Amino acid sequence: MKRIIYSEIKGRSPQFYALAAILLVFVLTALASAFYMEHSGHYVTGMNNQVVWGMPHVFAIFLIVAASGALNVASIGTVFGKTIYKPLGRLSGLLAIALLLGGLVVLVLDLGRPDRLIVAMTNYNLKSIFTWNIFLYVGFMVIVAAYLWLQMERRMNRFAKSAGMLAFLWRLILTTGTGSIFGFLVAREAYDSAIMAPLFIAMSFSFGLAVYILVLLAACRGSERDIGDKVVNKLGRLLGIFAALVLYFTAIQHLTNLYAAEHIGVEKFILLDGGIYTLLFWVGQVIVGGIIPMVLVFRASGDVSRNAILASTLVIIGGFAQVYVIVIGGQAYPLELFPGMEVSSSFNDGVIASYAPSLPEIGLGLGGVALTGLITLFGMKLLRFLPASLANATIDPHHSVTAKSS
Amino acid sequence: MTRHRALIGILVIALAGLAVASHAADQQNNTKGVPFPAIAMGQGETCVEDTDFMRRNHMDLLDHQRDETVINGVRTEQHSLKECINCHVVNGPDSVPVTVSSPQHFCRSCHDYAAVSVDCFQCHASRPGVEN
Amino acid sequence: MSIKTEKSTPTPGFDPVRRKFLSAVAAAAGVALAPGVMLYGITKSNSAAARVSGSAVSSNVRWGMLIDLNRCDSGCDDCVTACSKENGLQGHGRPATDAQWIRKVDVTNPQTGASQSLPMMCQHCADPPCVDVCPTGASFKRADGIVLVNKHTCIGCRYCMMACPYKARSFIHESLEDQKPHAPRGKGTVESCTLCVHRVDAGGQPACVEACSDTGGGAMLFGDLKDPDSEISQRVAKYATQQIRADLGLDPGVRYRNL
């Protein structure tokens, strides 16, 4: 196999600066939104005492889940030794850090008291899964940064595999932690299940890879680098498998609940008569985010890149729908104060909670996405994350002279 | 190139001179600076601690007392914020106690002067309430 | 029912506030007892547990409440009004975001149509999920069983609101002014029923309990669940009582009778 040459993107074209400027505008909008929300209080958002986590959390959870998934490409290369994935590893690490930072910023700026971030960093309740997650996030960034350095510094390459293994295990634990934020909630009918952890891991595989494919193709096109069908086809098919995995865990989640009479209520709500949540579930998650992308990458003919881009976009849309249904739909369904009884009060007991996302919430969430974009963009400009070429001849292991991988 | 350097050198020296001069002027004009705040005296003979001690350490006393109160339920009056507020009350022109929104408020008068912002009154009442 | 307030532990530090309060309780009890009616609300105060002024709360005490639903009328919300008044809770005309520490819940059996009304608030669990999930430890359980939010360390993440099965907590969605000096509360933090901790620490009982016995049905009894001689312990030992969502195993300190 030819030695892979990495290079910075030039980042001097008008298009580069235009993109950076647009992203910056979104980031500034997010800061303004956050300031507005904090200054007025959260009543200006769609969130309330029934739906306490709203649109910012949908964005934050999507980004954090995608972050750990974006690292998979690097893991497949170093840990599982798939040669064709090796040139893709650096971008994978960069994207993982960028996505995690984007998500965490959204999460922090939505706090009731973001000015007390220092309190969250100095007072720990070690029994809280949230606290574990703080350690997991910080640890993830440190480990991935080290992993990137070991990959990029040639004298250190021999340690890259061990670091890759650590990063892979860490990311599995991290997503388990994110899923368990919901899985540990005994109070809520829609959560309270061990399956949340593996479901979130499957989601991270799928969302992270979808984001990765889009960024890779955009970066290669923007910097006029060759990218062969071979690698795109490979990534696309992998995305199809991951999308199937998400559908599998989703099916198990709902089947298990449907079997138990006590959970029929919440299942009926999500699957049948939940209005927007039912629509988002079936159309958004299952059809748009699951079945169509699978058909596109496994069955469709035509331009491989175009199919991969379309499939990735649909997986991301379906992913947002899925996180929305989990986070918002799960809260909209009322708490079971007295199982089997009907309850009513002035505090919306026993009724489906209403929630409509407000502009500042959406602005804040999009700002997190834009921040991810900015970090990735300037990361690629400053350091050598992107291979000079991903043409079939450059990356195909069958072109290699020796079987030994470098 | 050399001319540029010389120019920059002169500029730096001039600025430094200006800074020293203005600093000296500052020290001379100290009494004409920001006026010392009119701090509301408490109602009793003395404060719970020496005034000098309170000026330097009231925040630590409050911090300690706050944890004692919230976590251990200790509600002695000695170092409680509530009693500070009750004792150092300032009445406005309408003879109603002022809140922290008034610059005359005991805590605020000094904190404005020292340019230290506190967030106590985002939650705590900044004037005595009608007890029930 | 005897009034044992005078026998409260001797206090080395004279505490005028508590003394005033105790005499008020004794007086109220005297009036109420005159017709020979026994009201739940007038307890033996918490004399057995009265603390020496300045000492920390102890785990020898567990504050709890017993609510007799046969005495709780669905049209009565005196406990709610009293709570709002005591703690300075004001609505802003936005029911979805306005704070409620205690609320009346109507429960109906859809098969039989039988209906009941009950007050619902923080259940002061022995094993509170809100405390488990709080990342900073701001949500905590005091040694005497009262579950509180330490607003000095609450960052407003609302995970406790996700975790509470009773929907007992509210998030403060706007800036507040002129709070009650004994009930600090402010924008961006989470809050819930404090069991009127400032009253309890002064030897009294929660405002809702007092209101219920004064003008309501006298359905609420407050006391120390760990003191075998307390009114509440004796009643809990004698009659069948229920905890809401007992299946979750959280051991709430608020118990219901005739549910």
Q: Which ranges of chain B would DSSP assign to H, the alpha helix?
A: 2-28, 51-72, 81-87, 106-114
Quick one: A261 exposed, middle or buried, by C-beta within 10 A (0-12, 13-18, 19+)?
exposed
Please tell me the total number of residues recorded for chain B in this structure: 132
Which residues of chain C does A341 touch, with a Cβ-Cβ cutoff of 8 Å? 107-110
> Model confidence over A218-231: pLDDT tens digits?
999 999 999 999 99
> Does residue B99 belong to the interface with chain C, where contact is any CB pair within 8 Å?
yes
> Model confidence over A361-383: pLDDT tens digits?
999 999 999 999 999 999 999 99
pLDDT of residue C5: 39
pLDDT of residue B4: 67
Residue C129: give its domain's CATH number: 3.30.70.20
pLDDT of residue C176: 93
| CA angle A200–A202–A204, rounded 5-degree value | 70
pLDDT of residue C59: 94
| Nearest-neighbour CA in chain C from A181: distance (Å) | 9
Q: How confident is the model at residue B85 (pLDDT cuts 50, 70, 90)?
A: very high
> Does residue C109 belong to the interface with chain A, where contact is any CB pair within 8 Å?
yes
Quick one: A192 exposed, middle or buried, by C-beta within 10 A (0-12, 13-18, 19+)?
middle
Judge whether residue A134 has pLDDT over 80. Answer: yes
> Does residue B75 belong to the interface with chain C, where contact is any CB pair within 8 Å?
yes
Chain C, 17 to 36: residues with Cβ < 8 Å from chain A are none
Calculate mean pLDDT across residues A54-73.
97
The two counts, helices (H) then strands (E), for chain C are 7, 10
Calculate mean pLDDT across residues A145-174.
94
* Touching partners of C (3+ C-beta pairs < 8 Å): A, B
Judge whether residue B89 has pLDDT over 80. Answer: yes
- Residue A205 CA to residue A69 CA, distance in Å, equals 4
Chain C, 133 to 192: residues with Cβ < 8 Å from chain A are 133-138, 153-159, 161-167, 169-175, 187-190
**Residue in C61, C87, C173, C179 to test binding to B, most B beta-carbons within 10 Å:** C179
**Residue in C84, C182, C194 to test binding to B, most B beta-carbons within 10 Å:** C182
Domain A6-235+356-399 falls under CATH 1.20.1630: yes
> Model confidence over A332-370: pLDDT tens digits?
999 999 999 999 999 999 999 999 999 999 999 999 999
Partner-chain contact C162 A331, CB within 8 Å: yes
H or E element in which residue A387 lies: strand A386-387
| CA angle C100–C105–C106, rounded 5-degree value | 155
Q: Which residue has the tokens 């007025």?
A: A40
> Does the ipTM exceed 0.95?
no
| Nearest-neighbour CA in chain C from A187: distance (Å) | 4
- Mean pLDDT of the residues in chain A: 94
Domain residue extents for chain B: 51-122
Calculate mean pLDDT across residues A233-242.
96
Structural tokens at position B79: 């170092």
Total number of domains in chain C: 1
pLDDT of residue A2: 63
pLDDT of residue C41: 40
Owning domain of residue C85 = 5-257
> Model confidence over B59-73: pLDDT tens digits?
999 999 999 999 999
| Nearest-neighbour CA in chain C from B55: distance (Å) | 22
Judge whether residue A403 has pLDDT over 50. Answer: no
Which residues of chain C does A120 touch, with a Cβ-Cβ cutoff of 8 Å? 135-136, 155
Q: How confident is the model at residue A3 (pLDDT cuts 50, 70, 90)?
A: confident
pLDDT of residue B20: 60
pLDDT of residue B31: 55
Residue stretches of chain C with pLDDT short of 70: 1-50
Q: What is the DSSP letter of C13?
A: S
Q: Which ranges of A110-195 would DSSP assign to H, the alpha helix?
A: 117-122, 129-152, 157-183
> Model confidence over A41-57: pLDDT tens digits?
999 999 999 999 999 99
For residues B43 and B87, the answer to whether their CB atoms sit within 8 Å is yes
Residue closest to A170 by CA, chosen among A240, A249, A96: A96
pLDDT of residue C2: 39
- Residue C45 CA to residue C199 CA, distance in Å, equals 11
- Mean pLDDT of the residues in chain C: 85
pLDDT of residue B11: 67
Structural tokens at position B80: 């409680």
pLDDT of residue C7: 37
